[in-house]
Amino acid sequence: MRLRATPKALALRLDGGETPEDVRRLSLPEGLPLEVEVAGPVAQETLEALLALGRPLTLVPPRGRVVEGTLVVPRGLRAGQRVEYPGTVVVLGDVIVVGRLMGLAHAGASGDEERFIFALELRAKQVRIGPHLAQAPEEAEEGLGPEVVRALEGRIVVEPWGRKPLP
């Protein structure tokens, strides 16, 4: 594990094998977000310890290497936290996308129907909330603005953000 300061962030490199205790022992100056390069296998508990630091966090792939596989983020992301990864990203918690959401999004994968998906531009081919699933129409309208997806009475509902919800 290596830590260095850049003008805009604290850059932390995880080489693999770091423990949650290693993360908790870090002496981090205040005021700078944390940019974490994951260069080796890191345990879920270590990622949870990073999130528990309570500061803006960006996960970035190893520099100069193609990464294959899936990155699992063990809890929802809060304001200022970001994940960049060239493969599939699984976030365990609500799905909030400030930008375009494409592909598949599944909130409440453990069966929680109270979860939701929010995106400034919803272009997902498939969305799931808990056990419920919905496919996007073949010819989806463009430019609808921010939308929220939730489960309502056993079905998926997509609503414009900021308007009165459907009854």
Q: Is the pLDDT of residue 132 over 80?
A: yes
CA dihedral of residues 40, 44, 50, 55 (deg, nearest 10): 120
Pull the structure tokens for residue 47.
């990622």
Q: Is residue 54, in this structure, part of any structural domain at all?
A: yes
Q: Is the pLDDT of residue 29 over 70?
A: yes
pTM over 0.85? The answer is: no
| Residues in a beta bridge with 4 | 11
Domain boundary among 45, 65, 85: 65
Residue 167 shares a structural domain with residue 114: yes
Q: Is residue 76, in this structure, part of any structural domain at all?
A: no
Residue 158: closest CA among 148, 167, 145, 166: 148
Residue 13 shares a structural domain with residue 61: yes
Residue 114 shares a structural domain with residue 157: yes
Residue 14: closest CA among 46, 48, 51: 46
Residue 97 shares a structural domain with residue 151: yes
Q: Is residue 78, in this structure, part of any structural domain at all?
A: no
Q: Is the pLDDT of residue 110 over 60?
A: yes
Residue 99 shares a structural domain with residue 167: yes
Comparing 57 with 96, which gets the higher pLDDT?
57
Q: Is residue 72, in this structure, part of any structural domain at all?
A: no
Residue 104 shares a structural domain with residue 155: yes
Residue 32: closest CA among 4, 1, 71, 52: 4
Integer Cα distance of 94 and 155 in angstroms: 17
Q: Is the pLDDT of residue 21 over 90?
A: yes
In the 8-state DSSP scheme, what is residue 22?
H
Residue 111 shares a structural domain with residue 42: no
The predicted-structure confidence for 59-91, as pLDDT tens digits, reads as follows 776 666 555 666 777 777 666 666 766 666 767
Q: Is residue 40, in this structure, part of any structural domain at all?
A: yes
Q: Dmax of the chain from CA atoms?
A: 53
| Structural domain span for residue 58 | 1-65
Give how many domains the chain has, as a whole number: 2
Buried b vs exposed e over 49-87: b needs ≥16 C-beta within 10 Å? bbbeeebebbbbbeeeeeeeeebebbeebeeebeeeeee
CATH value at residue 101: 2.160.20.70
Integer Cα distance of 16 and 157 in angstroms: 41
